């Protein structure tokens, strides 16, 4: 079945550490997105990519970085510059027909 796989499901980060969240899709979608979810704040866009080797900052890109070397993969790195990284992170993709986003099941990141 086609879909989006996010890993790991739970991730713990120590202070000053960079961590990378994985997002893989087999839907052949060009566009991919990373959102951050905090209680009571809905989903906020971190980065998005419309095509391989190209990506754009979203509303809250500071402290995050991404790459898009393959169509199927859009990893998100949470750097030590992100001062409040504890959140639920959601990856999504969208096809050219605009049929809405398909979401992964999320990664919960906690600072320890």
Partner 1 sequence: AQSVTQPDIHITVSEGASLELRCNYSYGATPYLFWYVQSPGQGLQLLLKYFSGDTLVQGIKGFEAEFKRSQSSFNLRKPSVHWSDAAEYFCAVGPLTGGGNKLTFGTGTQLKVEL
Measured between alpha carbons, how far is 48 from 12 in angstroms, rounded to an integer?
24
Give the whole-angstrom CA distance, residue 104 versus residue 19.
18
Binding residues with partner 1: total (CB under 8 A): 28
Q: How many CB atoms lie within 10 A of CB 104?
A: 21
Cβ closest to partner 1, residue 16 vs residue 98: 98
For 13-39, what is the HEC assignment?
ECCCCCEEEEEEECCCCCEEEEEEECC
> How is residue 27 written in tokens?
């839907």
Q: Does 42 bind partner 1 (CB under 8 A)?
A: yes
Q: Residues 59 to 88: which contact partner 1 by CB under 8 A? A: 88
Interacting residue with partner 1 among 41, 53, 83, 112 (CB under 8 A): 41
How far is the first Cα of the chain from the last one, in angstroms, to the nearest whole number?
Answer: 36
Residues 83-112 that bind partner 1 (CB under 8 A): 88, 90, 92, 94, 98-106, 108
Minimum CB–partner distance for residue 53 and partner 1 (Å): 16
Which residues make up the interface to partner 1 (CB under 8 A)?
4, 6, 31, 33, 35, 40-43, 45, 48, 50, 56, 58, 88, 90, 92, 94, 98-106, 108
């Amino acid at each position: 079945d086609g879909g989006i796989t996010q890993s790991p499901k739970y991730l713990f980060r120590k202070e000053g550490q960079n961590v990378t969240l994985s997002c893989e899709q087999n839907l052949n979608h060009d566009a991919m997105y990373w959102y951050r979810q905090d209680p009571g704040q809905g989903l906020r866009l971190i980065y998005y990519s419309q095509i391989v080797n190209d990506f754009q900052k979203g509303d809250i890109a500071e402290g995050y970085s991404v790459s898009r070397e393959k169509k199927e993969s859009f990893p998100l790195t949470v750097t030590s510059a992100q001062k409040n990284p504890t959140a639920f992170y959601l990856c999504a993709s969208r096809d050219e027909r605009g049929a809405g986003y398909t979401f992964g099941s999320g990664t919960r990141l906690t600072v320890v």
